[in-house]
């Protein structure tokens, strides 16, 4: 037996003998027992206070924010933003059931679903959550949330439920782990990527002069749906 065959054989044997359930239980126990880091006061907001702080922080880093009362108001808010920016009434949208449930037929917006293409001018995606402390949006990747929609079009329109806004970074990770552990099938695994977006793309590499839209969208517009106790 060659060295290569020996190594591959050992790997197969280890995979066959692994106790996945016990390993998962050990990891869950370690995460549950780990003491949380100190959370600054600005990260302890909850409810409407968290939503207000998120909006203030997002606007501070050059994002724009609109707030609507329900999902039914979302298409109109997107149409208004496109018109105000003199943009075509067409968007690339992630095939997210939460977005698909909105009454887009009440507008004249042309919608294409799936991964973004080079000719797209605006992308619409639904955030997993947000952090009030820094005004950051959180997106998870998957079949219903292709990452390219967040980065390729020059305009990114992010939809966020107020009830999904957390005070601090740690709260987002705790929620993500809890939701994935309680899911079934492939959804019980952590997503391949978790993207954190704070404001439009920017760089100041050249003589410390700030430019927007160099490595991604130049405009980030956030539509907050004021649902639940976090609503205004």
How confident is the model at residue 114, as a pLDDT? 95
Write down the domain spans for the chain: 1-34, 44-230
In tens, the pLDDT along 3-24 reads: 888 888 777 777 665 566 777 7
Edge-to-edge, what's the strand order for the sheet holding 165-166?
A: 165-166, 129-131, 136-140, 194-197
In tens, the pLDDT along 108-150 reads: 999 999 999 999 999 999 999 999 999 999 999 999 999 999 9
pTM of the complete model beyond 0.85: no
Tell me which residue has tokens 């606007």. Answer: 59
Cα dihedral sign, 75-78-82-85: positive
Options 3.40.50.2300, 3.40.50.10420, 3.40.50.720, 1.25.40.80; which CATH number does 44-230 get? Answer: 3.40.50.10420
């Amino acid at each position: 037996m060659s060295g290569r065959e020996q190594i591959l054989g050992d790997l197969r044997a280890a995979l066959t003998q692994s106790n996945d359930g016990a390993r998962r239980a050990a990891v869950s126990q370690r995460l549950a027992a780990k003491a949380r880091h100190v959370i600054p006061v600005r990260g302890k907001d909850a409810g409407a206070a968290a939503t207000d702080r998120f909006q203030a922080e997002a606007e501070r880093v050059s994002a724009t924010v609109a707030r609507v009362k329900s999902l039914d108001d979302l298409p109109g808010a997107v149409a208004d933003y496109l018109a105000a920016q003199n943009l075509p009434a067409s968007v690339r949208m992630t095939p997210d059931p939460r977005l698909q449930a909105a009454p887009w037929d009440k507008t004249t917006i042309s919608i294409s679903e799936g991964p973004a293409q080079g000719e797209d001018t605006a992308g619409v995606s639904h955030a997993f959550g947000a952090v009030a402390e820094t005004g950051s949006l959180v997106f998870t990747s998957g079949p219903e949330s292709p990452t390219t929609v967040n980065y390729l079009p020059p305009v990114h329109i992010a939809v966020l439920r107020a009830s999904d806004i957390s005070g601090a970074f740690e709260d987002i990770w705790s929620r993500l782990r809890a939701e994935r552990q309680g899911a079934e099938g492939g959804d019980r695994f952590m997503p391949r990527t978790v993207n954190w977006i704070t404001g439009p793309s920017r760089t100041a590499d050249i003589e410390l002069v700030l430019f927007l839209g160099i490595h991604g969208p130049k405009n980030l517009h956030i539509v907050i749906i004021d649902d639940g106790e976090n609503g205004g």
